[in-house]
Amino acid sequence: MTNGQPFLNRFLAEARPSATYQMMDRVAARRASGAQVISLSAGEPDFDTPEHVREAGIAAIRAGQTRYTQVAGMRALREAVAAKFQRDNGLAVRWQDTLVCSGGKQVIFNALAATLNEGDEVIVPAPYWVSYPEIVQLCGARPVAVACGAGHGFKLTPAALHAAITPRTRWLILNSPGNPTGAVYRHDELLALAEVLLAHPQVLVLSDDIYEHLIFDGLAFATLAQVEPRLRDRVLTMNGVSKAYAMTGWRIGFGTGPAWLIDAMEKLQGQQTSGACTISQHAALAALTGPQDVVTRSRAVFQRRRDAVVAALNAAPGLECAVPQGAFYAFASCQALLGRETRGGARLETDEDVAMALLDEAGVATVHGSAFGLGPYLRIAYALDDASLQRACAAIRDFCLTLEG
Binding site for ligand PLP (CB under 6 A): 43, 103-105, 129, 175, 179, 208, 210, 240, 242, 248, 253
CA 20 to CA 329: how far, in whole Å? 13
Q: How far is the CB of 128 from ligand PLP (least distance, A)?
A: 8
Comparing CB distances to ligand PLP, the nearer of 382 and 399 is: 382
Which residue number, 73 or 240, has a Cβ lying nearer to ligand PLP? 240
CB of residue 341 vs ligand PLP: minimum separation in angstroms? 34
- Amino acid in position 267: K
Nearest distance from C-beta of residue 173 to ligand PLP, angstroms: 9
Between 69 and 106, CB nearer to ligand PLP: 106
Residue nearest to ligand PLP (CB): 103
Residue 135 CB, shortest distance to ligand PLP, in Å, is 10
Q: Which is nearer to ligand PLP, 348 or 381 (CB)?
A: 381
* Dist CA 399 CA 338 (whole Å): 13
Residue 196 φ then ψ, to 5°: -65, -45
Closer residue to ligand PLP in complex, CB, 210/393: 210
Contact 256, 86 (CB under 8 A): no
Question: Shortest approach of ligand PLP to residue 63 CB, angstroms?
Answer: 25
CB of 239 to ligand PLP, least distance (A): 9
Q: For the CB of residue 155, give the shortest distance to ligand PLP in the complex, in Å.
A: 14
Query: Quick one: 180 or 375, whose CB is closer to ligand PLP?
Result: 180
Q: Looking at beta carbons only, is 18 or 96 nearer to ligand PLP? A: 18
User: In whole angstroms, how close is the CB of 34 to ligand PLP at the nearest point?
Assistant: 29
Question: C-beta of 249: minimal distance to ligand PLP in Å?
Answer: 9
Which is nearer to ligand PLP, 123 or 312 (by Cβ)?
Answer: 123
Measured from the CB atom, the residue of 157 and 181 that comes closer to ligand PLP is 181
Shortest Å, Cβ 401 to ligand PLP:
32
Q: Which residue pairs, CB below 8 angstroms and at least 24 apart, start in 13-20?
A: 14/137, 15/134, 15/137, 15/138, 16/134, 18/130, 18/131, 18/134, 19/130, 19/367, 19/368, 19/371, 19/372, 20/130, 20/367, 20/371
Residue 11 or 21: the one with the smaller Cβ distance to ligand PLP is 21
258-274 burial by CB neighbour count: b if 16+ within 10 A, else e?
Answer: eeebbebbbebbeeebe
